[in-house]
Structure 1
Amino acid sequence: MNVTIIDYGVGNLRSLRRGLERADATVTVSDDPDAIAAADALVLPGVGAFGECVRNSKPFHDVLIDAAEDTPILGICVGLQLMFTESTEGAPDGETIDGLDLIPGRVERLPSDEVKVPHMGWNELTVERDHPLVSGIENGDYAYFVHSYCSAVAAHTVASCDYGFDFAAIAANEAGNVMGTQFHPEKSGETGLTVLKNFVDYAAQYREESLAAE
């Protein structure tokens, strides 16, 4: 299965590439909007501040919105946050910065008066609903998080994490083909490898069904 990682200047692309290759994907890293538009499956990484990631990824926004109609897309960390409707990070009080609105929801700061921010380290997952991305994932499996912002548990949530309150550790759109992890699967051991393998397998099946329908 061919998987294209979008290179927009943020994210640990080397370890992510290795993780996807361990999950039996053939990986391409690209900053070419035309190549990204033609990809069979996409991964959107993200490290740093939401606003910076929005600016850096702007050349690919239209491509991603179009791809969301018929392409499996996986967002990782801030890459997942970009998929939400909006974020409060970097915005004046009472305002937000627009995301891609591929998954309805808002990204907000962790409550620093209740927990240590950033949330950094291993924490447990709780599966909230069925989705191919959590096949083989059990409640209590650990994943590695590094973040200060998140989206609260809502209809989009596939798996949650309790860090003083429950937030979306894995989320997906209603159609199921746009999905993401707040944690870093490439740093999350066997749990992360399972998630990446699930994405690669889902993308392969999605492509087969699309070709059969043509």
Structure 2
Amino acid sequence: MKSVALIDYGSGNLRSAEKALVRAADGRANIVVTHDPEFVAAADAVVLPGVGAFAACMAALSARDGVIEAMETAVRQRGAPFLGICVGMQLMASRGHEFGVTAGLGWIPGDVRKIAPADPALKVPHMGWNNLDVVSDLPMFAGPKAGQPVYFTHSFAMFPEDEADVAAWVDHGGRFPAAVARGNMVGVQFHPEKSQSVGLGLLAGFLEWRP
């Protein structure tokens, strides 16, 4: 059975992400909440959740001895499928600009910056349901591509240096990336675990993905 390492570094959405992944797997994958470097390095897929500030999340992840190195082994060296959720997606970037500048994992070159809607009536944090402009052909995005909305709650977004790394866009007083994809790595700014059936469909698609 496929092993999926759901990285435990104290993220607030860890348990809801676990429940959604277990439901999406429907017995076809073993979802393991872990910060054991050996398990992570050997996992068939890796999921990094995240809520909160970029700097705090990066510090918490770095404090788990050997986990970042194990993620590098699994994802970057072995090519295991990777999914970053919300701040888990943002940590893939080169750096985050929240409470100063903090280095990220650097897996997808780019910056995490605060969103600034052109319409002052649109509030930040950006919270609620939005439709996406999906530009990726990955099957896991079939639901949003068909017009099914997904749930957001965030103030910062990831802006890749190369727009070819953007898998989907969202508009909240201006367009910004809602998802990224490069090789065996995918990240979503929205919360699939809070996006009901479309979110479960995305997670199921990720679990079946063979990049």
TM-score (norm 2): 0.87
Distance 1:145 1:131 in 2: 20
Q: Give the aligned partner of residue 15 of structure 1.
A: 16
Q: Secondary structure at the match of 2:47?
A: strand
Superposed CA deviations along residues 153-197 of structure 1, whole A, max 9, x for unmatched, are 722111111111111111012x2x111110010000111111101
Equivalent residue in structure 1 for 2:58, among 37, 47, 54: 54
Contact 1:144 1:187 in 2 (8 A): yes
Aligned equivalent of 1:104: 109
Q: Structure 1 stretch 51-60 or stretch 148-157: which is displaced more?
A: 148-157
**Is residue 137 of structure 2 the alignment partner of residue 137 of structure 1?**
no
Measured on the aligned residues, the alpha-carbon RMSD in Å equals 1.7
Q: Which among 70, 81, 95 is matched to residue 72 of structure 1?
A: 81
Please state if 1:33 is matched with 2:37.
yes
Q: Describe the shift of the 1:75–1:193 C-alpha distance in structure 2 as closer, same or farther (beyond 3 A).
A: same
% identical equivalent positions:
44
Q: 1:109 offset after TM fit, Å?
A: 0.2
Aligned to 2:5: 4
Moved over 3 A (4+): 112-115
Contact 2:90–2:112 (Cα < 8 Å) also in 1 = yes
Unaligned runs of 5+ in 2: none
Work out the CA distance in 2 between the residues paired with 1:40 and 1:84.
Answer: 23
Equivalent residues of 1:3, 1:27 under 8 A apart: yes
- What is the TM-score with the length of structure 1 in the denominator? 0.86
Partner of 2:199: 192
CA deviation string 1:22-80 (max 9, x = no partner)? 21232110011121111111110001110010011013222222322211110000000
The SS at the match of 1:5 is strand
Secondary structure of the 1:141 match is: coil
